[in-house]
Amino acid sequence: MADPDWLDYQKLAAEIYADLEMGTGAVVTHDDKIRGLESGTDRQIDVSIRTAVAGHDILIIVQAKNLARPADINVVGEFQAVIMDVRAAKGVLICSSGFTSTAMEYGRKLNIDLCTAHDIQHRKWGADLRIPLLWVEFTGDVSLDMALVADAPNPEPISLDHDAGKWLTSVDGGLTTTAISELLATAWNAKAANRTPGVLHQLDVARPGMKVRLGDSYWCPVGSLTCAYAARRTGWLGTFSFSQGRGIFNRGAGTIRARVAITDKDLPLRRDDSWSSVDNPDAVWEAAAKTPMLRIEKDIGPESFTFERLEMISEDDDGPGDAELT
Protein backbone atom coordinates (compact mmCIF):
# COMPACT_ATOMS: atom_id res chain seq x y z
CA MET A 1 0.00 0.00 0.00
CA ALA A 2 1.29 3.42 -0.95
CA ASP A 3 2.18 5.87 1.80
CA PRO A 4 -0.26 8.73 2.43
CA ASP A 5 0.71 12.09 0.97
CA TRP A 6 1.57 13.60 4.36
CA LEU A 7 4.13 10.86 4.97
CA ASP A 8 5.50 11.12 1.43
CA TYR A 9 6.05 14.83 1.99
CA GLN A 10 7.95 14.19 5.21
CA LYS A 11 10.12 11.60 3.48
CA LEU A 12 10.77 13.97 0.59
CA ALA A 13 11.97 16.66 3.00
CA ALA A 14 14.22 14.17 4.78
CA GLU A 15 15.70 12.90 1.50
CA ILE A 16 16.37 16.41 0.25
CA TYR A 17 18.20 17.39 3.43
CA ALA A 18 20.17 14.14 3.34
CA ASP A 19 21.23 14.98 -0.24
CA LEU A 20 22.10 18.58 0.59
CA GLU A 21 24.13 17.66 3.69
CA MET A 22 25.92 14.71 2.11
CA GLY A 23 29.60 14.82 2.95
CA THR A 24 29.25 17.52 5.62
CA GLY A 25 29.16 15.17 8.61
CA ALA A 26 25.59 16.17 9.47
CA VAL A 27 23.20 13.40 10.52
CA VAL A 28 19.70 13.62 9.03
CA THR A 29 16.97 11.52 10.65
CA HIS A 30 13.36 11.08 9.55
CA ASP A 31 10.67 10.59 12.21
CA ASP A 32 12.98 11.27 15.13
CA LYS A 33 12.00 11.24 18.80
CA ILE A 34 13.55 13.94 21.02
CA ARG A 35 12.80 14.38 24.72
CA GLY A 36 11.22 17.73 25.55
CA LEU A 37 12.93 19.44 28.49
CA GLU A 38 9.81 21.31 29.53
CA SER A 39 7.14 18.74 28.66
CA GLY A 40 9.16 15.73 29.81
CA THR A 41 7.78 13.70 26.89
CA ASP A 42 9.23 12.45 23.62
CA ARG A 43 8.36 14.89 20.83
CA GLN A 44 7.90 13.50 17.34
CA ILE A 45 10.18 15.37 14.93
CA ASP A 46 9.55 14.95 11.21
CA VAL A 47 13.21 15.57 10.34
CA SER A 48 16.14 16.27 12.63
CA ILE A 49 19.56 17.48 11.52
CA ARG A 50 22.44 17.10 13.95
CA THR A 51 25.75 18.74 13.18
CA ALA A 52 28.64 20.49 14.92
CA VAL A 53 30.09 23.97 14.55
CA ALA A 54 33.46 24.79 16.12
CA GLY A 55 33.11 21.71 18.32
CA HIS A 56 29.60 22.60 19.53
CA ASP A 57 26.62 20.34 18.84
CA ILE A 58 23.82 21.96 16.87
CA LEU A 59 20.26 20.62 16.54
CA ILE A 60 17.97 21.72 13.71
CA ILE A 61 14.42 20.41 13.55
CA VAL A 62 12.14 20.38 10.54
CA GLN A 63 8.38 20.02 10.43
CA ALA A 64 6.92 19.13 7.01
CA LYS A 65 3.19 19.57 6.46
CA ASN A 66 1.25 18.63 3.34
CA LEU A 67 -1.72 20.99 3.67
CA ALA A 68 -4.50 21.90 1.25
CA ARG A 69 -4.19 25.61 2.13
CA PRO A 70 -1.41 27.94 3.27
CA ALA A 71 -0.26 27.41 6.84
CA ASP A 72 -1.44 30.17 9.19
CA ILE A 73 0.00 31.82 12.27
CA ASN A 74 -1.30 29.05 14.55
CA VAL A 75 0.80 26.42 12.75
CA VAL A 76 3.88 28.60 13.23
CA GLY A 77 3.08 29.12 16.93
CA GLU A 78 2.63 25.40 17.56
CA PHE A 79 5.96 24.66 15.93
CA GLN A 80 7.68 27.37 18.01
CA ALA A 81 6.54 25.53 21.14
CA VAL A 82 8.27 22.35 19.90
CA ILE A 83 11.47 24.26 19.09
CA MET A 84 11.59 25.67 22.61
CA ASP A 85 10.75 22.33 24.24
CA VAL A 86 13.57 20.36 22.57
CA ARG A 87 15.99 23.32 22.73
CA ALA A 88 16.64 23.27 18.99
CA ALA A 89 19.09 25.87 17.68
CA LYS A 90 16.98 26.33 14.54
CA GLY A 91 13.53 25.44 13.31
CA VAL A 92 12.41 24.98 9.70
CA LEU A 93 8.72 24.78 8.90
CA ILE A 94 7.84 23.34 5.50
CA CYS A 95 4.34 23.52 4.04
CA SER A 96 3.36 22.28 0.60
CA SER A 97 0.82 25.10 0.10
CA GLY A 98 2.97 27.93 1.42
CA PHE A 99 2.06 30.36 4.18
CA THR A 100 -0.28 33.25 4.92
CA SER A 101 1.22 36.73 5.09
CA THR A 102 0.73 36.89 8.86
CA ALA A 103 2.44 33.51 9.24
CA MET A 104 5.37 34.78 7.15
CA GLU A 105 5.74 37.85 9.35
CA TYR A 106 5.45 35.82 12.56
CA GLY A 107 8.02 33.28 11.35
CA ARG A 108 10.43 36.10 10.54
CA LYS A 109 10.14 37.52 14.06
CA LEU A 110 10.69 34.06 15.58
CA ASN A 111 13.65 33.33 13.26
CA ILE A 112 11.87 30.27 11.85
CA ASP A 113 12.59 29.52 8.21
CA LEU A 114 9.33 29.02 6.30
CA CYS A 115 9.89 26.84 3.25
CA THR A 116 8.43 24.52 0.65
CA ALA A 117 9.97 21.26 -0.58
CA HIS A 118 10.01 20.43 -4.28
CA ASP A 119 10.85 17.53 -6.55
CA ILE A 120 10.71 18.37 -10.26
CA GLN A 121 9.44 14.91 -11.17
CA HIS A 122 6.78 14.63 -8.44
CA ARG A 123 3.15 14.82 -9.54
CA LYS A 124 2.16 17.16 -6.68
CA TRP A 125 5.30 18.88 -5.45
CA GLY A 126 7.04 19.63 -8.70
CA ALA A 127 8.36 23.07 -9.56
CA ASP A 128 9.77 24.84 -12.57
CA LEU A 129 13.26 25.21 -11.13
CA ARG A 130 15.46 27.28 -13.43
CA ILE A 131 19.15 28.15 -13.55
CA PRO A 132 20.51 31.45 -14.92
CA LEU A 133 22.30 31.00 -18.21
CA LEU A 134 24.92 33.14 -19.92
CA TRP A 135 24.94 32.37 -23.63
CA VAL A 136 27.98 33.69 -25.50
CA GLU A 137 28.54 33.65 -29.24
CA PHE A 138 30.51 35.43 -31.93
CA THR A 139 29.04 37.09 -34.97
CA GLY A 140 30.89 38.80 -37.80
CA ASP A 141 30.61 41.07 -40.82
CA VAL A 142 32.43 39.60 -43.80
CA SER A 143 33.57 40.82 -47.21
CA LEU A 144 35.16 38.64 -49.89
CA ASP A 145 38.16 39.08 -52.14
CA MET A 146 37.95 36.26 -54.69
CA ALA A 147 39.73 35.84 -57.99
CA LEU A 148 38.34 33.35 -60.51
CA VAL A 149 40.40 31.90 -63.37
CA ALA A 150 38.09 30.45 -66.03
CA ASP A 151 39.50 27.36 -67.76
CA ALA A 152 36.61 26.79 -70.17
CA PRO A 153 33.81 28.80 -71.79
CA ASN A 154 30.75 29.38 -69.62
CA PRO A 155 27.74 27.93 -71.49
CA GLU A 156 25.13 29.49 -69.19
CA PRO A 157 24.35 32.88 -67.62
CA ILE A 158 26.14 33.66 -64.39
CA SER A 159 23.75 33.27 -61.47
CA LEU A 160 24.82 33.94 -57.89
CA ASP A 161 22.95 34.60 -54.65
CA HIS A 162 23.38 38.13 -53.33
CA ASP A 163 24.43 36.52 -50.04
CA ALA A 164 27.99 35.47 -50.80
CA GLY A 165 28.02 33.17 -47.78
CA LYS A 166 25.67 30.84 -49.69
CA TRP A 167 27.94 30.48 -52.73
CA LEU A 168 28.94 26.86 -53.20
CA THR A 169 32.49 25.65 -53.56
CA SER A 170 33.87 22.23 -54.39
CA VAL A 171 37.23 20.50 -54.71
CA ASP A 172 35.89 17.43 -56.50
CA GLY A 173 33.98 18.93 -59.40
CA GLY A 174 30.70 19.29 -57.56
CA LEU A 175 30.37 15.80 -56.05
CA THR A 176 30.47 17.43 -52.61
CA THR A 177 29.87 21.11 -51.96
CA THR A 178 30.62 23.54 -49.16
CA ALA A 179 29.18 27.05 -48.81
CA ILE A 180 31.67 29.86 -48.27
CA SER A 181 30.09 30.61 -44.88
CA GLU A 182 30.71 26.99 -43.89
CA LEU A 183 34.37 27.29 -44.89
CA LEU A 184 34.76 30.31 -42.63
CA ALA A 185 32.85 28.66 -39.74
CA THR A 186 35.00 25.52 -39.97
CA ALA A 187 38.19 27.58 -39.87
CA TRP A 188 36.82 29.59 -36.95
CA ASN A 189 35.87 26.60 -34.81
CA ALA A 190 39.23 24.96 -35.58
CA LYS A 191 40.75 28.17 -34.12
CA ALA A 192 42.49 28.94 -37.39
CA ALA A 193 40.76 32.33 -37.47
CA ASN A 194 41.75 35.30 -35.32
CA ARG A 195 38.91 35.95 -32.86
CA THR A 196 39.95 39.35 -31.49
CA PRO A 197 36.78 41.49 -31.54
CA GLY A 198 36.66 44.93 -33.14
CA VAL A 199 39.64 44.39 -35.46
CA LEU A 200 39.55 43.70 -39.19
CA HIS A 201 41.08 40.29 -39.92
CA GLN A 202 41.82 38.40 -43.11
CA LEU A 203 41.68 34.65 -43.60
CA ASP A 204 42.53 32.65 -46.73
CA VAL A 205 39.96 29.87 -47.13
CA ALA A 206 40.96 28.73 -50.64
CA ARG A 207 41.86 25.06 -51.12
CA PRO A 208 43.83 23.31 -53.89
CA GLY A 209 41.55 22.48 -56.79
CA MET A 210 38.70 24.63 -55.43
CA LYS A 211 35.99 25.80 -57.80
CA VAL A 212 32.91 27.95 -57.29
CA ARG A 213 29.56 27.35 -58.96
CA LEU A 214 28.46 30.31 -61.05
CA GLY A 215 25.19 28.92 -62.36
CA ASP A 216 23.27 25.66 -62.43
CA SER A 217 26.23 23.53 -63.47
CA TYR A 218 29.21 25.72 -64.37
CA TRP A 219 32.16 25.41 -61.97
CA CYS A 220 34.89 28.03 -62.26
CA PRO A 221 38.36 27.54 -60.75
CA VAL A 222 39.24 29.77 -57.80
CA GLY A 223 42.57 31.57 -57.98
CA SER A 224 42.28 33.04 -54.47
CA LEU A 225 39.59 33.41 -51.82
CA THR A 226 40.12 35.64 -48.81
CA CYS A 227 37.55 36.58 -46.17
CA ALA A 228 37.97 39.95 -44.47
CA TYR A 229 35.93 40.01 -41.28
CA ALA A 230 35.34 41.92 -38.05
CA ALA A 231 34.19 39.78 -35.13
CA ARG A 232 31.74 40.72 -32.39
CA ARG A 233 31.42 38.82 -29.12
CA THR A 234 27.99 39.15 -27.57
CA GLY A 235 26.28 37.57 -24.59
CA TRP A 236 22.65 36.92 -23.71
CA LEU A 237 21.17 36.34 -20.28
CA GLY A 238 18.41 33.80 -19.89
CA THR A 239 17.35 30.79 -17.87
CA PHE A 240 16.78 27.11 -18.53
CA SER A 241 14.97 24.34 -16.71
CA PHE A 242 16.10 20.78 -16.10
CA SER A 243 14.38 17.45 -15.79
CA GLN A 244 15.87 16.14 -12.53
CA GLY A 245 16.27 18.02 -9.28
CA ARG A 246 14.80 18.71 -5.88
CA GLY A 247 15.36 21.24 -3.18
CA ILE A 248 14.10 23.46 -0.37
CA PHE A 249 12.75 26.89 -1.23
CA ASN A 250 13.07 29.42 1.60
CA ARG A 251 10.08 31.68 1.05
CA GLY A 252 11.23 34.35 3.46
CA ALA A 253 14.70 34.74 1.95
CA GLY A 254 13.62 34.01 -1.62
CA THR A 255 16.43 31.47 -2.02
CA ILE A 256 16.55 27.80 -2.89
CA ARG A 257 19.02 25.06 -2.00
CA ALA A 258 18.78 22.24 -4.48
CA ARG A 259 20.64 19.28 -5.90
CA VAL A 260 20.06 18.95 -9.61
CA ALA A 261 21.19 16.64 -12.39
CA ILE A 262 21.71 18.34 -15.74
CA THR A 263 21.83 16.18 -18.86
CA ASP A 264 22.62 17.04 -22.47
CA LYS A 265 18.89 17.00 -23.18
CA ASP A 266 18.35 19.86 -20.71
CA LEU A 267 20.82 22.24 -22.36
CA PRO A 268 19.41 24.65 -24.93
CA LEU A 269 20.62 24.12 -28.49
CA ARG A 270 19.89 27.64 -29.67
CA ARG A 271 19.47 31.09 -28.26
CA ASP A 272 15.99 32.15 -27.16
CA ASP A 273 14.79 35.46 -28.60
CA SER A 274 13.37 36.43 -25.20
CA TRP A 275 16.84 36.53 -23.59
CA SER A 276 18.35 39.96 -23.00
CA SER A 277 21.64 40.85 -24.67
CA VAL A 278 24.71 42.04 -22.75
CA ASP A 279 27.67 43.85 -24.28
CA ASN A 280 30.30 42.51 -21.88
CA PRO A 281 29.60 38.84 -21.08
CA ASP A 282 32.89 38.42 -19.18
CA ALA A 283 31.91 41.17 -16.71
CA VAL A 284 28.52 39.51 -16.18
CA TRP A 285 30.20 36.15 -15.56
CA GLU A 286 32.63 37.61 -13.03
CA ALA A 287 29.83 39.44 -11.20
CA ALA A 288 27.92 36.15 -10.88
CA ALA A 289 30.91 34.24 -9.48
CA LYS A 290 29.13 33.46 -6.19
CA THR A 291 25.75 32.55 -7.68
CA PRO A 292 24.75 29.46 -9.68
CA MET A 293 25.01 30.21 -13.39
CA LEU A 294 25.76 28.10 -16.44
CA ARG A 295 27.84 29.51 -19.28
CA ILE A 296 27.63 28.23 -22.84
CA GLU A 297 30.19 29.35 -25.42
CA LYS A 298 28.56 28.51 -28.71
CA ASP A 299 30.57 27.35 -31.69
CA ILE A 300 30.10 29.74 -34.56
CA GLY A 301 27.92 28.57 -37.43
CA PRO A 302 27.39 29.62 -41.04
CA GLU A 303 24.43 31.72 -39.93
CA SER A 304 26.68 33.74 -37.61
CA PHE A 305 28.16 35.78 -40.47
CA THR A 306 26.70 38.66 -42.41
CA PHE A 307 28.31 38.86 -45.84
CA GLU A 308 28.63 42.10 -47.73
CA ARG A 309 26.42 42.25 -50.81
CA LEU A 310 28.62 41.60 -53.83
CA GLU A 311 28.45 42.00 -57.58
CA MET A 312 30.54 40.19 -60.18
CA ILE A 313 32.86 42.02 -62.52
CA SER A 314 34.20 39.87 -65.35
CA GLU A 315 36.94 40.92 -67.74
CA ASP A 316 35.79 38.47 -70.41
CA ASP A 317 32.30 37.01 -70.46
CA ASP A 318 32.78 35.11 -73.71
CA GLY A 319 35.59 32.70 -72.95
CA PRO A 320 38.57 31.84 -70.81
CA GLY A 321 40.06 34.63 -68.83
CA ASP A 322 40.22 36.16 -65.39
CA ALA A 323 37.30 37.41 -63.29
CA GLU A 324 37.30 39.24 -59.98
CA LEU A 325 34.61 39.74 -57.35
CA THR A 326 34.41 42.98 -55.42
Tell me the per-residue pLDDT of 152-168, one tens digit each, with 9 for 90 and over: 888 888 888 888 999 99
- Does residue 45 sit within a domain? yes
Residues 89, 177 within the same domain: no
The per-residue pLDDT for 319 is 45
* Per-residue pLDDT tens digits for 126-149: 777 778 899 998 888 999 999 999
Q: Who's near 56: CB < 8 A, 6+ residues apart? A: none
Which pairs with CB-CB distance under 8 Å and at least 24 residues apart come from 51-59? 51/21, 51/24, 51/25, 51/26, 51/27, 52/25, 58/89, 58/90, 59/34, 59/86, 59/87, 59/88, 59/89, 59/90
**Average pLDDT over every residue of 52-66:** 95
Residues 46, 193 within the same domain: no
- Does residue 201 sit within a domain? yes
The per-residue pLDDT for 82 is 97
Residue 195 in contact with residue 184, Cβ under 8 Å?
A: no
State the residue range of the domain holding 182.
135-234+302-325
Give the integer Cα–Cα distance in Å for 180 and 89: 67
Give the integer Cα–Cα distance in Å for 79 and 62: 9
Give the integer Cα–Cα distance in Å for 256 and 271: 26
Give the integer Cα–Cα distance in Å for 219 and 168: 9
- Reported confidence tier of residue 320, pLDDT bands at 50, 70, 90: very low
Cβ-based neighbour number of residue 191 at 10 Å: 8
Residues 49, 197 within the same domain: no
Residues 28, 146 within the same domain: no
- Domain termination site, one of 87, 119, 151: 119
For the chain, the 3-state helix, strand and coil shares in percent, each to the nearest 5, are 20, 40, 40
